[in-house]
Amino acid sequence: MGIISGKQFINRIDDLHNEVWIHGKKVDGKISNHTAFKGMLHSKAKLFDMQTDPRHQPLLTFALPGTSEKANFSFKQPATKADLTDRRLATQLWAKTNAGLLGRSPDYINSAIMSLAAAAPLLGKNNKKFGKNIRQIYERAAAEDLTFTHTFINPQTNRSISFFESDDMIIAAKVVDENSDGIVVKGARLLATQGGLTDELLVLPAGGNFIDESYIYGFIIPSNTPGLKFMCRESFVSGDSEFDYPFSTKYEEIDSVVVFDDVLVPWERVFLYKDLNIAFEMTQEVDMFTLLSFQSVTRQVVKTEFILGLTQLIIDAINISEFQHVKDKASEIIVGLEIMKSLLLTSENQCQHNTFGMMTPEKNALNAAIIYYPKLYPRLVEVIHLLGASGLITLPTEKDFLSDNTRPYIDQYLQGAGSDSLERVKIFRLAWDLTMSSFGSRQTLYERFFFGDPVKLAMSLYNGYDKTPYVEMVKELLD
């Protein structure tokens, strides 16, 4: 089959009839027509259309081995540095269509599926069928151009170290039974972005309670598997007007709690089960999170480029470039952008083959980037607030511009230094939706915790970073 178009993507998601709940109601009919989901789904559809465009196919696709069919670039297992470079350029091309605001574009979890498949020898070390399963899942995903969401996190019911759940009230999803057909999973997981809006769901160990092996599992199942429910948060789509809500109408990625209501996971869908050693080795050798970081940092670079451009438009719109403090604040964005670009390119230039022969970006540079950006992004938002000031609040709506009663006043009093009122308000509405709306607030929280607890990420970097050469350098000077 190979790559699909945007229309094929939309039709396939509609035809799944996934069990999705939002605002207390189950979604009926075509989910692509629902106000909360249609904007994001059609934005993703444009990405699929790009890969069918002959102008972009050389970068966005590759030939499936042994066939003439084309697959999406993110399913290609990089073997050379050039493969990583192409991967970065393709991700950038996609990200620029949405200013880096689609954190879960298809290439994100596709990278995880690809990395897991490359590590099939490890996953199948103690049980060959598990290695075979992940390989077959990957090959089918690439051949059919499937999309995935994922869930790695347990609910935040009680996060104290000493807390253990009882079997009387299961909260975190666990295996409650197994039979000849597969394993049965009951409980809940967080935080599936685009939950119910993809073909399939990737589930990996959530960490924490590994004393009980019923929590040690990894599998991939269709999103319409019986008993699988996606409970969505409140939608941040506040209206249909793209003028009033330029980002949320198109890029609102709904987040959901995944409920496993005695879900039967067939054995052919399982690639990890009750094997703590393999679960631990996965974190050390698979390099899944390394490839996920590579995709994420690439997207974050594009997002920061957009923020710099938007900031400059705000500066020009109200003619504040002559003030030193303005240039000082804008330079913070420039410095942040250059640091992120440098870390990304360092990871690419210092790539190495991993245990399974996959060309992998250098980890330390990427780890530094994913620790740095959660601290940088809130400052980028603050800079926009400080420069935009009251202009981010005094924003007329599309209907105000259409009214003969209000339009003359808007044109006179809300014009820019070198632009008319319409152009100026459009710029400031972009900044408002990016940083102040419910959608924008979610973007800030999203980047703060994109890869989890920032303190734990910093501890992991410290613990894994080889500091010996630098200690020896100091000792030599002391001697």
pLDDT per residue as tens digits for the range 59-105: 999 999 888 899 999 999 999 999 999 999 999 999 999 999 999 99
Overall average pLDDT of the 259-280 stretch: 96
* Torsion angles phi and psi, residue 41, rounded to 5: -65, -40
In our burial notation (b when 16+ CB lie closer than 10 A, e otherwise), range 258-293 reads: bbbeebbbebebbbbbebeebbebbeeebbbbbbbb
- Predicted confidence band at 161 (pLDDT cuts at 50, 70, 90)? very low
- Which pLDDT belongs to residue 389? 96
- The 8-class DSSP code of residue 390 comes to G
Contact 210, 276 (CB under 8 A): yes
- Which pLDDT belongs to residue 35? 96
Residues contacting 147, CB < 8 A, separation 6+: 9, 13, 44, 106, 109, 110, 198, 199, 200
pLDDT tens-digit map of 320-377: 999 999 999 999 999 999 999 999 999 999 999 999 999 999 999 999 999 999 999 9
For the ranges 71-80, 188-197, 279-288, 399-408, the lowest mean pLDDT is seen at 279-288
pLDDT tens-digit map of 414-450: 999 989 999 999 999 999 999 999 999 999 999 999 8
- Which pLDDT belongs to residue 155? 87
The domains located in the chain, with CATH, are 6-145 (1.10.3140.10), 149-279 (2.40.110.10), 287-478 (1.20.140.10)
Cα dihedral 283, 287, 289, 292, rounded to 10, equals -160
Annotated binding-site residues read 156-159, 193
- Which pLDDT belongs to residue 206? 85
**Average model confidence (pLDDT) across the chain:** 95
Whether 284 shows a pLDDT value over 90: the answer reads: no
Q: Which amino acid is at 362?
A: E
Whether 162 shows a pLDDT value over 60: the answer reads: no
Overall average pLDDT of the 109-137 stretch: 97
* Centroid of chain to Cα 95: 11
Whether 156 shows a pLDDT value over 80: the answer reads: no
* Centroid of chain to Cα 261: 26
Helices and strands counted in the chain (H then E): 18, 14
For the ranges 106-120, 207-221, 261-275, 449-463, the lowest mean pLDDT is seen at 207-221
- Which pLDDT belongs to residue 209? 54
Whether 208 shows a pLDDT value over 60: the answer reads: no
Annotated binding-site residues for FAD read 156-159, 193
pLDDT tens-digit map of 368-405: 999 999 999 999 999 999 999 999 999 999 999 999 99
Q: Which whole-number Å values give the CA distances from 393 to 294, 320, 397, in the listed order?
A: 36, 18, 11
d(CA 248, CA 239): 9
Biggest CA-to-CA distance, the chain:
82
- Which pLDDT belongs to residue 307? 98
Radius of gyration of the chain (CA): 24
Whether 237 shows a pLDDT value over 60: the answer reads: yes
